Structure 1
Amino acid sequence: MALKVIGAGPGRTATFSMKFALEHLGLGPCYHMVEVFRNARRNIPLWLDVVDGKPDWDAIFEGYQSVTDNPACVYWRELAEYYPESKIVLTVRDAETWVESCNETINSPRMLASLEGSELMRMLQGTYLRQFGDKIDDPEWMADWYRAYNQEIIDTIPAERLLVFHPKEGWEPLCEFLGVPVPAEPFPRVNSRDELGGASDEQGGLPADPVELENFAGGYVEMLRAKAFG
């Protein structure tokens, strides 16, 4: 199954809401970092192959119609080329608030320290985190990086293939771009602080053990799904 929609926005740009939206529109399942977690023993080795320069995109996205979030968005250019019929959705937000949100969740010292020495951390260092080098604690640099990242996508992907989208716009622009009917339900909204990073506060981060990670993520994504259209 070839991907039909590629979400190019990095984590903390409403990528969880976008996952649920695409699935609600019949373009699911939608791959997201939580899918890496939910089947960690299968998926982390596949992403480590990507890190080692041996990507098998068909294996990674087997059974999925769409993708959003890290680590896949790091490879937006490669995926757009590999799936030439796909459409690209760039979810966006204010650069400074993006940095703040990342610092509270996926880039927080608590989160990263909980994974130190694990295979998951090696995967993150080779995909998502490698983009920032030693600048992850520099808010001004990170905001500039985010603006440049978005602009590069806008400058690279043909306009007819790209939607630059803020979820506050609701269903209409997304549905028009994808050529699907507008649902009666409200656009899914997942509380930005209540995503996977925030939910890990009680245990001080994410489980480094793959089995524990799978159990944690499996229950959490279903809880969020139940809330998304509330």
Structure 2
Amino acid sequence: MGLKVVGVGLGRTGTYSLKVALNQLGLGPTYHMEEIILDMQRKLPQWQAVVAGNSDWVAIFEGYTAAVDWPTASYYRELHAAYPDAQFILTHRNPESWVDSFSATIYQLLSNIDEAPEPMRPWLELVIAVIAKAGIPLGLGRQRLMDAFAAHNAAVEAAIPPDRLLAFQVKEGWQPLCGFLDVPVPDGLFPRTNDRGEFWDKVAGAA
């Protein structure tokens, strides 16, 4: 099957909304960090192997035709090499609003790893490693987070050929996404989901 669409925007840039949108367009099933949370026993070791330098993309994405969010976004170079014919989508947003959202959700969660339930810690350690690969180690201040966000987006745009890459904000709605993917624009509003409250609900599923 193989991946046809790869989201390479960092978490908290509308990646879950993009997942829902791709599925609605018939381009899924779409892989997201949530997939690991829902099948920790099988999928966590696959990504631990990736972090250790032993990636098996075929096994990881078996049954999926699209992937978004972390861990995927940190491996855009490797996934472009593995799936050169895929279409890549760089979700982004205002850097200051991204830092606000990221700091109040993912970064807060990772910074409190010592307080997390023991069964949850291997997953959190994976997330820390994956996010560090994207240039975001623990302990960065606000300006350095904004700089890291901008650096990731610039690196993606330098690595992926322009004809295979769409820079996209979910607030733009269906039109640019459907035009890039060459699919009809569906009826109804573009999905907007995974606000901060929903994020913490999903995290609770990993405990």
Per-residue CA deviation, residues 105-132 of structure 1 (Å, 9 max, x unaligned), is 1111576442667221221232124532
**TM-score normalised over the length of structure 2:** 0.91
**Secondary structure at 2:90 match in 1:** strand
> How many residues are treated as equivalent by the alignment?
203
Which residue of structure 2 aligns with residue 85 of structure 1? 85
Which residue of structure 2 aligns with residue 167 of structure 1? 170
Alpha-carbon shift at residue 134 of structure 1 (Å): 4.2
Which residue of structure 1 aligns with residue 11 of structure 2? 11
Aligned partner of 1:189: which letter?
R
Alpha-carbon shift at residue 40 of structure 1 (Å): 0.8
Alpha-carbon shift at residue 186 of structure 1 (Å): 1.0
Q: How does 1:48-197 map to 2 (within 5 A)?
A: 48-109=48-109, 112=113, 113-114=115-116, 118-130=121-133, 131-136=135-140, 138-190=141-193, 192-197=195-200
Tell whether the 8 Å contact from 1:20 to 1:188 is kept in structure 2 after alignment.
Answer: yes
CA distance in 2, matches of 1:184, 1:194: 27
Contiguous gaps of at least 5 residues in structure 2: none
Q: How does 1:10-29 map to 2 (within 5 A)?
A: 10-29=10-29
- Aligned in 2, Cα 1:134/1:170: closer, same or farther, shift over 3 Å? closer
Tell whether the 8 Å contact from 1:23 to 1:29 is kept in structure 2 after alignment.
Answer: yes
Which residue of structure 2 aligns with residue 33 of structure 1? 33
Contiguous gaps of at least 5 residues in structure 1: 201-205, 217-230
- Aligned in 2, Cα 1:12/1:134: closer, same or farther, shift over 3 Å? closer
Per-residue CA deviation, residues 178-204 of structure 1 (Å, 9 max, x unaligned), is 01111012110115223323x26xxxx
Aligned partner of 1:194: which letter?
G
**TM-score normalised over the length of structure 1:** 0.82
Per-residue CA deviation, residues 93-115 of structure 1 (Å, 9 max, x unaligned), is 01111111011111115764426
